[in-house]
Amino acid sequence: MVRLSSPSDRKSTSNIRIRSTVSKALKSCQMPSTRSAFRDVTDSKTAVINTDRPRVMARNRLVSPSQRIRNRHKCTCEPYYQSPTRSEEPPGYTEYREEDEFTDVEDAIQRHQNHEDEDGSSDSDWDEHATLIALLDDGEEAPEFADGVAIVDRLSPVFLAHRREATEQFRETLVPVVTRVGEAHKSLSHDNNPTLLRGVALFDKSSRALEDATRREHDQVVRAFTRVKETLENLSLQLQDVCAESDKLLNTYEKAIDELVQRLGGYSKSVPGDVEKLICKLDQTTKSVAAEDHAKAKEKLLRGILDRY
């Protein structure tokens, strides 16, 4: 349930803080050289505050109407959704049921109607805001010093005037704030009708539904991110395998190219000698063929001469 908060929820802390601030402001009027002279004034102010204890206790017992309603209303709402990312159980969702009734809100409305008189009587307590301010007026009389030092007598009017000025500043600051807080609590106590409480309950239900929808979307995004991450890891492994195979093929290609280059280099170096050898061999063959042809021609010529004769 969405609960209405008020400054009275921390009234004890606020009262202690205000009293501490007032005491520090009152003590700031004293100088280090005259602190012992004003010790009697502090003791007399403490005595006056102690005698006003019933008013202070009555003021501390003030409880705002919204705080009373909130104390009477004990929310029994339970969360309808638990994120699967926060537990090891499989994701399961429980939708909001349309037949849910605002039983706690109706009980609060009924109690609020039954205690209207009590709320009306407690609203008057906010008119006692003068109790806190009255504490600032305690001890306004000029202190009587036992030592009777002349310089303290001359400085005391200045300190008293400064103290009155500081007290007036505190009064101008605190009175409007306390009055405004009282008016706000009275307005809240009168405006807490069933329609407003039902609207707050409806807003709370809608907020819970929106929260569940947001958590579902978050879980879907987390699952999608996990799947994409696993897919990317698999693709990365496959890419690493392909890169390894490509490196192997590249190394094999480089080795084959190096062997071919070495062979071509050896061939290029041996070609001139082989060409010279071939030329020499062709010359010898040509000479031998020419010599044989010349001998055959002579032999043919001699045979022709012999045949004639």
Residue 109 within any structural domain of the chain = yes
Residue 59 neighbours by CB distance under 10 Å? 17
Q: Give per-residue pLDDT as tens, 61-119.
A: 554 455 555 555 445 444 444 444 444 444 444 444 434 444 554 555 556 556 555 55
For residue 302, tell me if it sits in a domain: no
In a domain, 44, yes or no: yes
31, part of any domain: yes
Residue 21 CA to chain centroid, in angstroms?
35
Question: If you average pLDDT over residues 260-288, what whole number do you get?
Answer: 84
Task: Give me 149's structure tokens.
Answer: 């030092």
Residues contacting residue 102 through CB under 8 Å, at least 6 positions apart: 198, 201
State yes or no: pLDDT of 235 exceeds 90.
Answer: yes
Q: Is residue 185 part of a domain?
A: yes
- Please indicate, yes or no, if residue 272 is contained in any of the structural domains: no
Q: Is 60 exceeded by the pLDDT of residue 210?
A: yes
Domain membership of residue 146 (yes or no) is yes
Residue 67 confidence (pLDDT): 56
Integer Cα distance of 102 and 198 in angstroms: 8
> Which amino acid is located at 43 in the chain?
D
Q: How many CA atoms lie within 13 A of 57 on its CB side?
A: 5
User: How many other β-carbons are positioned within 10 Å of the β-carbon of residue 48?
Assistant: 13
Mean predicted confidence (pLDDT) in 37-64: 46
3-state SS record for 36-53: CCCHHHHHHHHHHHHHCH
Q: What's the domain range around 26?
A: 7-192
pLDDT digits (tens, 9 = 90+) for 166-195: 888 888 888 888 888 888 778 767 766 777
What does pLDDT average to over the chain? 67
Instruction: With cut-offs at 50, 70 and 90, classify the pLDDT of residue 134.
Output: low
Domains identified in the chain, total number: 1
- Portion of the chain with pLDDT greater than 90, in percent: 18
- Cβ-based neighbours of 186, under 8 Å, separated by 6 or more: 65, 123, 126
**Region 261-273 average pLDDT:** 85
| Any domain includes 235 | no
Task: Give the Å distances, CA to CA, from 54 to 21, 131, 296.
Answer: 21, 11, 163
Measured CA to CA, the distance from residue 130 to residue 132 in angstroms comes to 5
Separation CA 163–CA 27 (nearest Å): 9
Residue 161 in tokens: 């005037």
Higher pLDDT, 153 or 25: 153
Q: What is the mean pLDDT of residues 1-9?
A: 45
Count CB neighbours of 185 within 10 A. Answer: 23
